[in-house]
Structure 1
Amino acid sequence: GIARIVETHQPIVETYYGPGRLYTLIKHLQVECDRQVEKVVDKFIKERDYHRQFQQVQNSMIRSASAEKIEPRELDPILTEVTLMNARSELYLRFIKRRIISDFEVGDSMASEEVKQEHQKYLDKLLNNCLLSRTMQELIGYYITMEEYFMRETVNKAVAMDSYEKGQLTSSMVDDVFYIVKKCIGRALSSSSIDCLCAMINHSTTELESDFREVLYNKLKQGFPATTFQDFQRGVTSAVNIMHSSLQQGKFDTKGIESTDEAKQSFLVTLNNVEVCSENIMTLKKTLESDCSKLLGQGFGGEQAQAKIDSCLSDMAAVSNKFRDLLQEGLNELNSTAIKPQVKPWINLFLSVSHNIEEEEFSDYEANDPWVQQFIVNLEQQMTFCFCFQAGLSPVIYDTLTGLMTSLIAIELEKVLLKSTFSRLGGLQFDKELRSLIAYLTTVTTWTIRDKFARLSQMATILNLERVS
């Protein structure tokens, strides 16, 4: 209503009083505006019990196990109303600012720099010290604390209600958590307040980095359980004792096996969750960059607005990298627990096959491969059937894991190679084995692996020379 009055009467003021007088009119109108704002806000605070709700939220955040913990969904409509009120206020103040600035520019065209600066101070004082600005700043201050509580409690619920459906790569909490985070940041964005938006981006970043990442870290910390075959290899007799005890009772208890399978599935799902979290954070960052650019383009925010937003978004990118680091830690754990104990003995079998051979043995090896074909079969079974890695991991993680496996194979194979003795035909046999191995590994990963086997290829070349000169 007041904006319409200004728009209607501005030409009259300019005609009869000259340019530069609009400020005086708006200054008087703002007094009435503040009076009406006070009534509206007081009514809102009373009807929504805003201060009591804030106090309850504050107490709940200080004492997390409070008996009077407020239900987050009760805050949802209140928080939406506050951001709507602030958006209207920001729109009004931006309109007033634009009109007064344009009026001053016309009136001050011949004025000194001191007069222009003085008029700018008048404008800043009017916009910043009016009751409308101060009241909305107070409401938004309460809102930020309540929105943080809403986000934290709802995220905790999403984690507590986490579930996994067969055939899915991730569990439910990832989508739920990012829906909540986007909702809270989106609501702060709708307030048109840059400070409010930056505060909520920072709270969201902290929630993802500290609380949610900690949940995923603790799941990965439990490790990937060793298989029964690995336990047997390591001489662990507990599985045998359990089986013996079960058979004595006339039944075979599969509970231990089932729980192990669940633990494996949980570990793989958590790896997928971590990867998706990292991607979601970067997607959210790009979306916010676009949304903030539109908001600033409409004239909202002060001189430092862009710098504030850039700082918040750079923190978000840093958190995405921390999730990437966590993923790498999990993959290293999976590689060292599930792959290395299996692959290393298979590679060591290379030592039991003589490569100091003559023509007859070379022909026999050609007909009945002594090592590499069985090694490839073992790898294939491990990666696809034994642990269901290919089905249980996202394509990106599976590729990274096979990359770690190929690095491990190259390192371990080089070690056994240095312990072996070769004739020229033995060198030729190794060259064939290496080519077969590289050909297979190339089919299971999209990454280039030839660089990892470069040293082994050079060794094979040297072994095929008649003499080194």
Structure 2
Amino acid sequence: MNNYISLETQYFQLSFSMALYMDDIGQMLKSLKNPKNLNQGQGAAASAMTSATNKTTDLSIRDIETSSKVDDIFFVFRKVVSRSISSLCSPSICATINLTSSNFDSLYIPYIEILLKQTYGGDFDKKRDYFLVILNDMCTTNTYIAQMQRELVDLTNQRLTTDDEVKMITMCINGDSLTTLSDRMETLLKENVEKIVQILSIPINQLIFPINHIHYEINDQEYERYEINDPFAQDFLDSFDDLLSPYKSILLTSIFDKLINHLSSHVAATLEDHIKQKKFNFLGALQLSKDIRKIIDHCVQLTSEQNIRHKFIRLQQIVQLLTMDKVTDIQDYTQEGYQWKLSVLDIKLLLARRSDFPLQAVHNLKL
């Protein structure tokens, strides 16, 4: 069985290395870096290999959702482990799983990290789509790990007869190597989604900035005019959608949801900062309420997450404060045990932004 284990692990390592070498996104990045003929100056064997990889460069990054390496590697890994399970020799099965899965730590993770560095640095707009596909790769890797573990455990239960053997092999299938890979993919995914948020936060701030020029101390005629010609929210949302369009078209739904989750927090915090600098009367506060509700509803529609509204709780409470008929209305909330996400200082400062509320009445509030 030692020879069998050696053959299987060597076969997998060679297949693994070849999958990385033939990886379509890796080839595209090489072509992007050096668009000249990649065959130039190569020997016959190397030229033949490059001719095969050049087929990949005929693809556009927009043609793929995930790169080829993910499917290729997990297809071979599943085959190798399935064959070892068919041997019915539990020590050999565990040895094959442990030896083959070690390639993920030594080859797969470093390769992913290299691709991330190549696509994030420099001109991000030029390499953005490649970066997004790599994020898809990480998410798909974790999906495949979970799916493959379930399949291999089912196969083990079908083929092996003793509970001890099934337990031992199941532990190997769900062992440290694949758990480490899954955890690392999740960490990298989180870190790099946050990098996208950092990149997008600057243009989002610019899209929100025009709210500074909107007048929110308005009369009936101005309020009616705002109803006909939206002064802020629609323009912001149209530009927001344009900004997100390339991300939405490439990213897997689960990753795009994570991105919207983070961006919603940023949008809410930025709007709050601007609102605290403005003055309102009752009609202006009503208009702001419409603007905020429109933005929240739109963000909810962008994601499949049902709890995205919690990102805007503080903003919703700010609107509640600003749309009160009189200062003392807040006492009704206090008596009902309402859970404010705003501090007492925040509440008083916001009520003071209502130009039609007496400042002394705000100051005298007992909260």
The two structures have a TM-score, normalised by structure 1, of 0.58
The Cα offsets for residues 107-146 of structure 1, whole Å up to 9 and x where unpaired, read as xxxxxxxxxxxxxxxxxxxxxxxxxxxxxxxxx2343334
1 CA distance for matches of 2:134 and 2:315?
Answer: 35
2:204 aligns with 343
**After superposition, what is the alpha-carbon deviation per residue over 1:409-450, rounded to whole angstroms, capped at 9, x for unaligned?**
112212222222222222111101011112222222111222
Amino acid at match of 1:327: L
1:444 paired to 2:312: no
Alpha-carbon distance in 2 for matches of 1:304, 1:394: 38
Residue 174 of structure 2 aligns to a residue in which SS? Answer: helix
1:285 and 1:383, CA in 2 relative to 1: closer, same or farther beyond 3 A?
same
Instruction: Find the counterpart in structure 2 of residue 381 from structure 1.
Output: 242
Q: Give the RMSD, CA atoms, in angstroms.
A: 2.3
Counterpart residue number, 1:392: 250
Amino acid at match of 1:215: Y
Unpaired stretches in structure 2, ≥5 consecutive residues: 26-58, 329-367
2:94 is the alignment partner of 1:198: yes
Structure-to-structure mapping, 1:56-455, within 5 angstroms: 140-163=1-24, 165-166=59-60, 167-224=63-120, 260-261=125-126, 263-297=127-161, 299=162, 303=164, 306-307=167-168, 309-315=170-176, 316-337=178-199, 339-384=200-245, 388-448=246-306, 449-455=308-314
Q: Secondary structure at the match of 2:275?
A: helix
Q: Distance in 2 between matches of 1:314 and 1:459?
A: 49
Q: Computing the radius of gyration over CA atoms, which structure comes out larger, 1 or 2? A: 1
Distance in 2 (alpha carbons) for counterparts of 1:441 and 1:345? 18
In 2, the alpha carbon distance for the partners of 1:188 and 1:444 equals 45
1:92 aligns to what?
Answer: none
Deviation at 1:223?
A: 4.7
Deviations 1:389-426 (A, max 9, x none): 22212222222222222222112212222222222222
Q: Which amino acid aligns with 1:269?
A: V
Structure 1 stretches lacking a partner, 5+ long: 1-139, 229-259
Counterpart amino acid of residue 265 in structure 1:
D
Question: Structure 1 residues 391, 211: CA separation in 2 closer, same or farther (over 3 Å shift)?
Answer: same
Structure 1's consecutive aligned runs of 4 or more residues displaced over 4 angstroms after TM superposition are 225-228
The CA distance in 1 between the partners of 2:271 and 2:118, in whole Å, is 30
Which amino acid letter does the alignment assign opposite residue 211 of structure 2? F
The 1-side partners of 2:119 and 2:323 are apart by: 44
Letter in 2 for 1:419: Q
CA distance in 1 between counterparts of 2:219 and 2:137 reads: 54
Q: Identity over aligned residues, as a percent?
A: 25
From the superposition, tell whether residues 392 and 194 of structure 1 become closer, same or farther in structure 2 (CA, over 3 Å). same
In the other structure, the counterpart of 2:42 is none
Distance 1:438 1:180, change over 3 A: same
1:318 positional shift: 4.6
**Shift in CA distance, 227/214, structure 1 to aligned 2, threshold 3 Å:** closer
Q: Distance in 1 between matches of 2:319 and 2:66?
A: 43
C-alpha displacement of 1:169: 0.4
Aligned length: 291
Which amino acid is the alignment partner of residue 191 of structure 1?
Answer: S
Distance 2:96 2:300 in 1: 46
